[in-house]
Amino acid sequence: MEKVVAVAVGATRPAICSPSLAEVDFRTSVKMSGFFNVSRLRSLQPIKALEESATASVVQESAAISGNNLCQNSTVAKSTNILWHKNSVDKRDRQQLLQQKGCVIWITGLSGSGKSTLACALSQALHWRGKLTYILDGDNCRHGLNRDLSFKAEDRVENIRRIGEVAKLFADAGVICIACLISPYRKDRDACRSMLPEGDFIEVFMDVPLQVCEARDPKGLYKLAREGKVKGFTGIDDPYEPPLNCEIVLKQMGDDCPSPADMVETVVSYLDENGFLRA
């Protein structure tokens, strides 16, 4: 006669939500030591997050078994059946850790207007103040992330979109992201602005006349464009659309060119006044 063994559904699943003996001893010792202040409570949050994550996993698995799908997959562009996963550590936690607010400083202007110079000087000044930054330089990104893109109009749109998406991730990480690239089309810059919460996109316009930029010509590209050896060069045979409502304008008046230190001070003052240099 065969022996029939009844197994309850889920009986073989480990009790992953139950705390281990080590966790119980730790909590008990903390309570007895009287260290339940705000900082100590915050140190226990990872344990609580793990418990909540484990509970959520059990619920989701149970829903899958029962056929009740609690989350709905979505379609974004060409990506189908994707699901946004919410993390237990969010932007506010990261900002609190870094003691700053994540944002994107988008420096735009003609080639030779001083975008990279400002970006590097600004990053250094903020570094000295103990703030974490990262520069997304247009040329640098074309060495890797965007090396498959040309300078045709449609590729320029994709170039800006990709950098905007990466900048958004840096800002979400609590980092002050400095993007410096020509980004000639207004609608593309506005599209990047729309990716972030209101106020977190800071557009800095390097308002330097074309003739000044061409006189500088640090890469020799204006000369090549005038000779017809470079096509679609912004300012020569491709338009640049200046911002209409940017946060900061750094304008050169005649031969009076503001120094990098003066420009940095303008941007840092804006960040300080708007609370980006504290959590």
- Determine whether 116 is an active site residue: no
Instruction: Give me Rg for the CA atoms of the chain.
Output: 26
For residue 158, what are the CA distances in angstroms to 144, 163, 198?
14, 9, 23
Alpha-carbon torsion 18, 34, 93, 124, what sign?
Answer: negative
Choose among 273, 274, 268, 10: nearest CA to 130: 268
Q: Which residues contact 239 (CB under 8 A, 6 or more apart)?
A: 184
User: Which one of the listed residues 53, 183, 194, 269 is annotated catalytic?
Assistant: 183
Helices assigned H by DSSP within the chain: 21-33, 38-43, 45-66, 91-98, 115-128, 138-141, 153-172, 186-194, 210-216, 221-226, 260-273
What CA–CA distance (Å, rounded) separates 135 from 197? 20
Choose among 241, 216, 243, 214: nearest CA to 230: 214
Given a contact cutoff of 8 angstroms between Cβ atoms, the answer to whether 175 and 97 are in contact is no
What CA–CA distance (Å, rounded) separates 176 from 18? 40
Amino acid making up residue 247: E
Q: Which residues contact 176 (CB under 8 A, 6 or more apart)?
A: 100, 102, 103, 105, 126, 131, 132, 133, 134, 271, 276
- Residues forming the active site: 183
